[in-house]
Amino acid sequence: MNNAKLLQTGLVAVIGYVLIFILVWIINKQVKNLKARHVLRKNVVYIVSILMILAIAFLWMQNLNSLTIFISVIGAGLALALQEVILCVAGWFLILARRPFEVGDRIELGGVKGDIIDIRIFHTSLLEIGNWVHGDQSTGRIVNVPNSAVFKKENYNYSRGFEFIWNEISVLVTFESDWKKAEKIMLSHADKDAKEMEGVMKRKIDAMAKHYMIYYEKLTPIIYTNIKESGVELTLRYLTEARRRRATHDALSRDILSDFAKEESVNFAYPTYRIVK
């Protein structure tokens, strides 16, 4: 009996695959529009496959035990085939329940950085930033990241809790320059913005400390000095709003350039070559 059913199952499978082959061949010959041809081919494969499954199910469902076994096998197969889909739905529930991010936040998820414009059951849509565009500015592309990424990849949130990030500006001055004066010039401009935001930053950190083990000892700008081959490197480290990183970088750079130009004792360093005959 089982041998006969196995033979019939194999026959149904062969007929199904032959039918798919014939129908796809006809579609490729008769349908000229590429998009319509693609859609028809996919629909034919889906419909014939479903009919094959139903036919095989009808052959094997002679009693309740067979039906239970069949449903178990189909369920296991679907769970395996739809693993990514199930993870996406589970990720969607996690996003709704734990809210690691929401619409409007700037995040990095699955290696993609951007501003969230929509959260759907299977994917999260981001307006991409960065990539070939510098300074975390928009590229104009919309990227759909599967919600399963919340289980598989690290996700970074620029906007939640503490909307400020550390940024750095490095300049190289000659060894002959008054690097201490250059340091004061850089700090003076950074301190102006820092004083305006100091109260807000402290409130944000106090709020975050209620939920996370987080502590910042220093919020004010600081200069780090390094000796390089061509001169003295001064690196200004300062806090800025995540969405204004490029704007603040640009404004500080302009101010620093203007003041350095006024100081005869401060000169930028750059690689030089000497030709000896």
Residue 133 inside a domain? The answer is yes
Q: Are 242 and 136 in contact (CB under 8 A)?
A: yes
pLDDT in tens, 12-38: 888 888 998 999 899 888 888 887 888
* 145 CB-near residues (< 8 Å, 6+ apart): 109, 110, 112, 123, 124, 125, 126
Residue 270 inside a domain? The answer is no
Report the candidate in 185, 209, 198, 204 with the shortest Cα–Cα distance to residue 239: 198
Residue 20 inside a domain? The answer is yes
CATH of residue 105's domain is 2.30.30.60
pLDDT in tens, 158-204: 877 677 888 999 999 999 999 999 999 999 998 887 777 777 777 77
> What is the residue type of 35?
K
- One domain, residues 195 and 223: yes
Residue 94 inside a domain? The answer is no
Which tokens is 21 given? 């082959």
What residues are paired with 129 via a beta bridge? 138
Domain limits for position 68: 2-81
Residue 93 inside a domain? The answer is no
pTM: predicted TM-score of the whole model, two decimal places = 0.61
- One domain, residues 35 and 77: yes
Residue 240 has pLDDT above 70, yes or no: yes
Residue 106 inside a domain? The answer is yes
- Residue 200 is predicted with a pLDDT of 75
Residue 119 inside a domain? The answer is yes
Residue 95 inside a domain? The answer is no
Other CB atoms within 10 A of residue 222 CB: 12
* Boundary of a domain, candidates 17, 51, 81: 81
What residues are paired with 232 via a beta bridge? 173, 227
- One domain, residues 171 and 129: no
Give one DSSP letter per residue of 174-198, joined into a string. -TTS-HHHHHHHHHHHHHHHHHHHH
108 φ/ψ angles, rounded to the nearest 5 degrees:
-125, 120
* Boundary of a domain, candidates 134, 157, 180: 157
Which tokens is 203 given? 């409130």
99 φ/ψ angles, rounded to the nearest 5 degrees:
50, 60
Q: Total structural domains in the chain? A: 3
